[in-house]
Structure formats: C-alpha cells, structure tokens
A = this chain, B = another copy of it.
Amino acid sequence: MSTLANYRDHLAEIGKLSSAASLLGWDLQTHMPPKGGAYRAQVQGKLSRMVFELATSDELGACLAELRQDGSISPLEQASVRVNGKAYDRSRAVPPEFVEARQIAQSEAQGAWVEARRTNNFPLFQPHLEKMVDFARQLAEYYGYEEHPYDALLEDYEPGLTCRQLRAIIDPLKAEIVPFLRRLATEGTPPDRTAFDGEYDPDTLRQLSRRALEIIQYDFQAGALDDVAHPFTTVIGPGDVRITNRYPTDSPLPSLFGALHEGGHALYNQGFTDDLYTLNLAGGASNGIHESQSRMIENQVGRSRPFWQFFQPVLAEYFPQFAPVPTETLYRASNVVAPSLIRVEADEVTYNLHIMLRFEIEAGLIEGSIAVADLPKRWNQAMKDYLGIVPPDDTQGVLQDVHWSFGYIGYFPSYMLGNLYAAQMLPKIRKDLPTLDGDLRRGDLKPLLGWLRENVHRHGAAYEPNDLMERITGEPLNPEHFVRYVTEKFSDIYQL
C-alpha cells in the first residue's frame, strides 16, 4: 500500500471510531435514560482511548513524516497533512500521564464548579481552578510557543492567531463599543421589549424551529432536530449532522434564534465535501469561523429587517397573535440592546464585551499577572467598566461559564471572533449578491447559502482563519467591519 493510501486508511479508521463516539455523545444528551449514564461513561472512555491511540500511533507519525516531504500529493492532501500533522505533533508532545492526571482533575473541577455555582461559593472552586490554570500553563509549555504561552492554547481553537493579535483587535473594538453602548442607553429610543411576551406551546415552538431550519436550507434528509437542555450541533458522520434545541415557553425568540444559530453551524457541516471528510478536514477552519456561520444565520439573517418582513407571516401561521403587529415592532423587539449579566443571553452589541473581559482574565492567568483568588473582584470591575452593571453574586458572575472548569483556556475568543468574521464577510457578500435583501424578503436563502458553500464551507479546515478571511475579503481579520455593522444597525434601530 502506498504511504498516501496508508495515511487515508488511518484517517478512515479514526473517522469511524469518532463517528461512534459522536453518536454516544449526542445520545447521552438527547435520549439516554439516567440509569444508563454510569456505563455510558465507560463506553465513551473506551472509544476515546482507541481514537487517541490511533491518532498518536507511530505508524501515523511515519506516514505524516513521509507525506510532508511529498510534493506530488494534491493541495487538499497537503492541507490534510499540515492540519493533521500539527494535531499529531501536539498530541505526541503531551505525556499520557499528564493527559490522565488532567482528566481526573477536570472531572473533580467540574463537580466543584457545579457545587460552587449552586451555592454561590467561589472559594470552593478556587483551588480547582488554580489547578486547571497550572495544567493549562504546563500544556502550553508542552505545545511550545514563540511569544506568549496563551498562543499555544489559542491554537486549539483559532489556528495561527496570537495573543498579541487578539489584543490589537480588542483594544480598538472596546474603544468603540463601550461608548456606543453608553450612547444607546442615554440617547437611544429603545424598542418595545414586551412585543414577544406571552406563554407559548412548546410543540408549536418546535414546529416553528423546524420551519425556520427548512427556510435556511438545512437538509433534514441529512440531519435531525432533537430536544436537549443545552443546544448544540454535532456531526455524526457524512450525511448526518444533527441539531438540538430547547423551547422556553415565555417567548418564541430563544428557540427561534437557537434554531437559526445551530442551523448556521449545521449548514457549515453539511457543506463539507466527501473529500474533506476522508482527509479529516471536515471540522471547520476554526471555532471562530464556525461561529461566524452560526452568527451569520442567527444575526445577519435572522435579526435583519428584510428577514422579518418575510418571517412575520410565517410566525403568524404558528402564533396568529403576531399577524396584526407592525413588522418594525417585531424587528426592533428582536434587537433589544441591554447590558446583562449572562454572556449567553447577550445581544449583538454587548456580547463581545463579555468575551473581552474573559480574554483579559485568561491571558493574565496564563502569564501570571492575575491570581485566581482575585477573579471575582476583577470580573465585577470589568463588568462595571464595560457594561455598567455588577453581578449581585458570583453565580451570575465569574462562575457562570463551564469552560474554565475543564481548563479550556483560549476558547472564549472564538465566540467574539465569530461575530467579527461574519461582519467582515457581509460587505463582500453584499457586493457579490446585490439582491441579498430582496432574497431575504422572499425568504430565499439559496443564494446566500451558495455563497457560503463556495467561499467558506467547501474549504473545510484547509485554510487557517486569517488566510481564509484574506482569500474571501482581501484582508486579514479587521474589527472595523464589525464596528461599522453594529453601529449602523443599532443607530437605526435606536434612532440615534
């Protein structure tokens, strides 16, 4: 067998086991009965170990070493060797004992976080978080970095991006958004926030989510929509990309925008070609690019005026009370800007501020300039500075996110970058698709999806995010696009 065939075989075996592991994970959150949990953990552990063994095997390493020198393979194969080779090197750089010790500590930290959050007791979580930070710093050393240890961690989520670049993006962004938020609050005319208040039947909300997914061209023949406590999208395999959603009954918006958000992720995954799957490049260019696809559908489409012009009669099919309401009222009410304590509930203007404060804390933790013990104070001060509100307790403050309990440091920026990437793509989309607003007014998402398929989806992970952005927009990540997008949109809505 040729080295290339051997390499592809290796990826295929990893792919099949990963598919089984994905299904186990999806089922755990959607259908598994409570008493199945203990054994499920064992089964998942077994599958993870097998995947890890294959993904770090000497044989795969030998294939990669040879293929890295092989100029005769196709560009996509070269990208596969580059991306998978980097992942291989990083996995091999970490001693198995370290991985195991960290997993045990993660599990303990996770339990402590749940309890600390429940009882608003940060000191309970503190020693675990300190351990997690130590593990993260050690991990950065294993991975290696040129400038800042944070760079080594960021690589997992946003390949090629550095702490320095992030700071260069965040500083001007903060300088624009914080005052703009103040202007909205002091000079703006806020939308009617009560337009969607009511009590909604969850079955009807579920049907509405299905309908919204059909509108955005999500392929139900290659997917499914299931109920879950915390929505996510998962790839079971080629032809099988599943969405989950939840249905709070006091407003149609959370489930609607949840469906559109997860649907955006799913469209990306459904857009990967078979080639990308077989070469293990079907994971998206980065977490941030993945998030750009979900934000694009959720915000640039779902929270746009032309889409609401199309969508209002659709909504009224399910909830007739919305038929007589002025479209503008619904559009504006789906775009309320309000500083809030909880990141996941944040609007388009404030969302990135939540991320900035997390990034600044993370970078400080990793470089040692911030102590874990000081986190509640730092958190609350930053909330006050950026958003003008202070959490009444740590449960609604520094303890709100699960990520740090797993030691996932470097993850949060992707949420912000998704907003920036999407906003940067939009002017190019408008240029290539001058009828975009008209398409949205007719509920025709096909032209937009076609553009995303052609410019984003079909490349999978073959390009790093900045290279992809340059390819698409002619420049690397530039936060000005987001600033322009958000100030124009909300100046209009708030009648500044």
Chain A residues proximal to chain B, CB less than 8 Å: 13, 16-17, 19-20, 23-24, 27, 31-40, 42-43, 46-47, 219-224, 226, 236-240
Distance to closest chain B CB from A93 (angstroms): 28
Looking at the complex, which one of B19, B37, B46, B224 makes contact with A43 (CB distance below 8 Å)? Answer: B19
Decide: B223 and A33 in contact? CB cutoff 8 A: yes
A-side interface mostly: helix
Decide: A240 and B20 in contact? CB cutoff 8 A: no
Closest to A219 in B: B35
Distance to closest chain B CB from A157 (angstroms): 27
Closest to A238 in B: B39
A43: chain B residues within 8 A (beta carbon): 16, 19-20, 237
Distance to closest chain B CB from A228 (angstroms): 13
A240: chain B residues within 8 A (beta carbon): 32-33, 35-36, 39-40
Decide: A40 and B237 in contact? CB cutoff 8 A: yes
Looking at the complex, which one of B19, B46, B219 makes contact with A13 (CB distance below 8 Å)? Answer: B46
- Assembled-state Cα–Cα distance A239/B43 (Å): 13
A23: chain B residues within 8 A (beta carbon): 20, 23-24, 27
A226: chain B residues within 8 A (beta carbon): 31
Other CB < 8 Å A-B pairs besides A20-B20, A27-B27, A36-B236, 8 of them?
A16-B42, A16-B46, A20-B23, A31-B226, A34-B222, A36-B240, A39-B237, A40-B240
A32: chain B residues within 8 A (beta carbon): 224, 236, 240
- Assembled-state Cα–Cα distance A131/B31 (Å): 41
Known contacts A17-B46, A20-B20, A24-B23; A239 and B39 CB within 8 A of each other: yes
Distance to closest chain B CB from A428 (angstroms): 31
A-B contact pairs, 11 of them (CB 8 A): A13-B46, A16-B42, A16-B46, A17-B46, A20-B23, A23-B23, A34-B222, A35-B219, A36-B236, A39-B239, A40-B240
Decide: A224 and B31 in contact? CB cutoff 8 A: yes
Looking at the complex, which one of B36, B42, B221, B238 makes contact with A222 (CB distance below 8 Å)? Answer: B36
Decide: B24 and A20 in contact? CB cutoff 8 A: yes
Closest to A31 in B: B224
Looking at the complex, which one of B27, B34, B40, B220 makes contact with A33 (CB distance below 8 Å)? Answer: B220
Closest to A20 in B: B20
Distance to closest chain B CB from A203 (angstroms): 9
- Assembled-state Cα–Cα distance A28/B43 (Å): 19
- Assembled-state Cα–Cα distance A32/B38 (Å): 24
Distance to closest chain B CB from A202 (angstroms): 14
A224: chain B residues within 8 A (beta carbon): 31-33
A239: chain B residues within 8 A (beta carbon): 33, 35-39
- Assembled-state Cα–Cα distance A47/B50 (Å): 12
A17: chain B residues within 8 A (beta carbon): 46
- Assembled-state Cα–Cα distance A240/B41 (Å): 13
Decide: B46 and A221 in contact? CB cutoff 8 A: no
- Assembled-state Cα–Cα distance A221/B19 (Å): 26
Distance to closest chain B CB from A48 (angstroms): 11
Decide: A222 and B35 in contact? CB cutoff 8 A: yes
Decide: A222 and B16 in contact? CB cutoff 8 A: no
Decide: A47 and B20 in contact? CB cutoff 8 A: yes
Distance to closest chain B CB from A23 (angstroms): 6
Distance to closest chain B CB from A186 (angstroms): 50
- Assembled-state Cα–Cα distance A237/B237 (Å): 23
- Assembled-state Cα–Cα distance A252/B227 (Å): 27
Closest to A203 in B: B203
A33: chain B residues within 8 A (beta carbon): 220-224, 239-240
Closest to A223 in B: B33
- Assembled-state Cα–Cα distance A38/B278 (Å): 14
- Assembled-state Cα–Cα distance A67/B237 (Å): 42
A219: chain B residues within 8 A (beta carbon): 35
A47: chain B residues within 8 A (beta carbon): 16, 20
Distance to closest chain B CB from A285 (angstroms): 23
Closest to A30 in B: B31
Decide: A221 and B20 in contact? CB cutoff 8 A: no
Distance to closest chain B CB from A39 (angstroms): 4
